[in-house]
């Protein structure tokens, strides 16, 4: 039985690596960018907030700077008890609208706050005489900084009436502050350029956090409350849009910047929420099996079932540690384990992804040579052990019935480090 489990685990890892290699080779090809056709859209930026006084002011200044005159910036204050609402209320630009939710209606998750914003857009007259298929809703986190040229890059995608949503690339603004923040930047770059670009080819790119652009008519196609109460409402929404017949695109060369976490505990806490939300999304698996087919079905199932790889990785890691412990107590075992073939096999199985991710990140980041990129590639493999801890943390929360939102604490802009080069003062 143990042998069978080991073979299944190794097979799972090899399949995952083969799939990743295939995505890498496919993403290396040239991707055409749509040009023109982005006129006539009204853009609504929606920023859900809960105790975000540290960052919301700078975020609004950036959005005001990059927004066209007919845009709206809707801030949904979801029951904050700090100075968030006062800061937002102090902005006099007519494009900024503040929606306040108070308990007991507030603090029921990000999805409920976003649904409230959609109801405001439909019932409050803010979009009077504007067709829903010509309105784009852009979801921004309170620490999001949309690069000035990104909006112009996104709009042409929606000239295709089949496109319901588009996701821009996410980068970490304070990547130079710590190795942990740098590895988060690498994580987003690798995810965008290795997976998202290829998923965009078949119209099922994932939606996640900052920088989601959605056609209002596509949202309404999912019902009066398009967002669920899932802890990963963005993942849930993206899958349901694809199942409803919409294409979701990746605008990988457009960028939104956000804060990276500099505390390992905070990172594990955040990823445990992501893991738990992925498991909640398993309820969509029957719909994917029944309504999707071919490459789209395979891709969606791969994303939804990815938590299983975390469990496999956990058991393989524990097996390795047990083998090392046994070798320390047994001279024959040490002789068998510490021979060239087992060591090389372990290194290849463990660090092969570093030779894909490292050079890719060095090329995209622009501030690393390929040798340093390869070093970060090896660190990145170890960094992903965070997911093993987060997976079991999230599992424990599910077992005891906890489904509350684990909010990420922000750094002030000063704590998060200087603005990226070329950014106007006061706009980051």
Instruction: Report CA-CA distances (Å) from 17 to 1, 10, 29, 80, 354.
Output: 24, 11, 19, 43, 11
| Mean pLDDT (whole number) for 102-112 | 91
CATH number of the domain to which 160 belongs: 3.90.550.10
Q: How many CB atoms sit inside 10 A of residue 161's CB?
A: 11
| Cα 281-133-59 angle, rounded to 5 deg | 70
| Contact (Cβ atoms closer than 8 angstroms) between residue 47 and residue 73 | yes
Q: How many CB atoms sit inside 10 A of residue 204's CB?
A: 25
| Contact (Cβ atoms closer than 8 angstroms) between residue 201 and residue 31 | yes
| pLDDT bracket for residue 264 (50, 70, 90) | very high
Measured in residues, the chain has a length of: 428
**Model confidence at 7: pLDDT above 70:** no
| Mean pLDDT (whole number) for 6-13 | 62
Please give the Cα distance from 71 to 66 (Å, whole number): 10
User: Rounded to an integer, what is the distance from CA 375 to the centroid of its chain?
Assistant: 24
- pLDDT value at residue 344: 83
- Note whether residue 314 is domain-resident: no
User: Rounded to an integer, what is the distance from CA 147 to the centroid of its chain?
Assistant: 17
Structure tokens at 106: 């507030």
Structure tokens at 398: 């599910």
- Note whether residue 282 is domain-resident: no
| Mean pLDDT (whole number) for 292-320 | 85
**Tens-digit pLDDT profile for residues 385-407:** 999 999 999 999 999 888 776 66
Residue 28 half-sphere exposure toward CB, CA atoms < 13 A: 11
Number of structural domains (the chain) is 1
| Contact (Cβ atoms closer than 8 angstroms) between residue 423 and residue 58 | no
Q: How many CB atoms sit inside 10 A of residue 278's CB?
A: 23
| Contact (Cβ atoms closer than 8 angstroms) between residue 388 and residue 310 | yes
| Mean pLDDT (whole number) for 316-330 | 70
- Note whether residue 394 is domain-resident: no
Buried b (16+ CB within 10 A) or exposed e, 107-140: bbbbbbbbbbbbebbeeeebbeeeeeeebbbbbb
Q: Which residues pair with 169 in a beta bridge?
A: 255
Instruction: Report CA-CA distances (Å) from 191 to 139, 171, 377.
Output: 19, 11, 13
**Model confidence at 178: pLDDT above 70:** yes
**Model confidence at 143: pLDDT above 50:** yes
| Contact (Cβ atoms closer than 8 angstroms) between residue 196 and residue 206 | yes
Average pLDDT over the chain, rounded to an integer: 87
| Mean pLDDT (whole number) for 379-386 | 94
- Note whether residue 318 is domain-resident: no
- pLDDT value at residue 308: 87
Give the residue numbers spanning the domain of 232.
31-266
Please give the Cα distance from 250 to 23 (Å, whole number): 14
- pLDDT value at residue 18: 73
- Note whether residue 311 is domain-resident: no
Residues whose CB is less than 8 angstroms from the CB of residue 168 and which lie 6 or more positions away in sequence, other chains included: 146, 150, 153, 154, 210, 211, 213, 251, 252, 254, 255, 256
- Note whether residue 17 is domain-resident: no
| pLDDT bracket for residue 278 (50, 70, 90) | very high
| Mean pLDDT (whole number) for 117-127 | 88
- pLDDT value at residue 419: 47
- Note whether residue 108 is domain-resident: yes
The DSSP output letter for 73 is E
**Tens-digit pLDDT profile for residues 409-427:** 777 665 555 444 444 333 3
- Note whether residue 70 is domain-resident: yes
Residues whose CB is less than 8 angstroms from the CB of residue 200 and which lie 6 or more positions away in sequence, other chains included: 31, 248, 249, 250, 252
Residues whose CB is less than 8 angstroms from the CB of residue 324 and which lie 6 or more positions away in sequence, other chains included: 337
Please give the Cα distance from 113 to 300 (Å, whole number): 26
- pLDDT value at residue 421: 42
Q: Which residues pair with 43 in a beta bridge?
A: 136
Please give the Cα distance from 154 to 421 (Å, whole number): 23
Buried b (16+ CB within 10 A) or exposed e, 401-422: eeeebbebebbebeebbebbee
| pLDDT bracket for residue 64 (50, 70, 90) | very high
Q: What is the C-alpha radius of gyration for the chain, rounded to an integer number of angstroms?
A: 22
Please give the Cα distance from 175 to 17 (Å, whole number): 27
**Tens-digit pLDDT profile for residues 325-380:** 766 667 776 666 667 777 787 788 789 889 989 999 999 998 899 999 999 999 99
| pLDDT bracket for residue 58 (50, 70, 90) | very high
| pLDDT bracket for residue 149 (50, 70, 90) | very high
The DSSP output letter for 192 is I
| Mean pLDDT (whole number) for 86-109 | 94
Tell me what percent of the residues of the chain surpass a pLDDT of 90: 66
Q: Which of 174, 147, 182, 180 shows the shortest CA–CA distance to 419? A: 174
How large is the greatest C-alpha to C-alpha distance in the chain, in angstroms?
80
């Amino acid at each position: 039985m143990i042998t069978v489990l080991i073979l299944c685990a190794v097979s799972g890892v090899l399949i995952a690596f083969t799939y990743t290699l295939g995505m890498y080779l496919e993403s290396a090809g040239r991707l055409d960018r749509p040009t023109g056709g982005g006129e006539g859209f009204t853009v609504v930026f929606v920023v859900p907030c809960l105790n975000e006084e540290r960052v919301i002011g700078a975020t609004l200044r950036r959005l005001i700077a990059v927004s066209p005159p007919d845009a709206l910036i809707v801030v949904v204050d979801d029951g904050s008890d700090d100075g968030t609402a006062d800061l937002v209320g102090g902005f006099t630009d007519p494009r900024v609208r503040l929606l306040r939710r108070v308990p007991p209606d507030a603090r029921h998750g990000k999805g409920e706050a976003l649904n409230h914003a959609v109801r405001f857009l439909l019932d409050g007259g803010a979009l009077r005489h504007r067709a829903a298929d010509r309105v784009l809703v852009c979801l921004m986190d309170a620490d999001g900084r949309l690069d000035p040229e990104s909006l112009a890059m996104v709009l042409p995608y929606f000239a295709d009436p089949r496109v319901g949503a588009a996701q821009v690339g996410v980068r970490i603004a304070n990547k130079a502050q710590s190795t942990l923040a740098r590895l988060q930047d690498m994580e987003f770059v690798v995810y965008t350029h290795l997976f998202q670009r290829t998923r965009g080819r078949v119209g099922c790119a994932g939606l996640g956090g900052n920088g989601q652009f959605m056609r209002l008519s596509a949202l309404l196609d999912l019902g009066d409350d398009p967002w669920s109460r899932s802890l990963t409402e963005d993942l849930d929404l993206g899958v349901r849009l694809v199942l409803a017949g919409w294409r979701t695109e990746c605008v990988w060369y457009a960028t939104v910047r956000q804060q990276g976490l500099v505390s390992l505990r905070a990172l594990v806490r955040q990823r445990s929420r992501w893991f738990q939300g992925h498991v909640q999304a398993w309820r969509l698996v029957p719909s994917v099996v029944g309504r999707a087919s071919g490459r789209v079905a395979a891709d969606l199932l791969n994303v939804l079932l990815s938590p299983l790889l975390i469990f496999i990785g956990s058991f393989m890691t524990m097996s390795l540690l047990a083998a090392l412990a046994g070798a320390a107590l047994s001279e024959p075992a040490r002789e068998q384990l510490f021979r060239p073939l087992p060591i090389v096999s372990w290194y290849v199985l463990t660090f092969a992804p570093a030779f894909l991710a490292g050079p890719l990140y060095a090329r995209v980041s622009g501030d690393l040579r390929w040798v340093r990129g390869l070093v970060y590639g090896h660190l990145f493999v170890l960094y992903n052990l965070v997911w093993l801890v987060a997976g079991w943390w999230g599992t424990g929360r599910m077992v005891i019935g906890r489904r509350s939102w684990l909010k990420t604490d922000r750094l002030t802009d000063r704590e998060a480090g200087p603005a990226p080069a070329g950014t106007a003062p006061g706009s980051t």
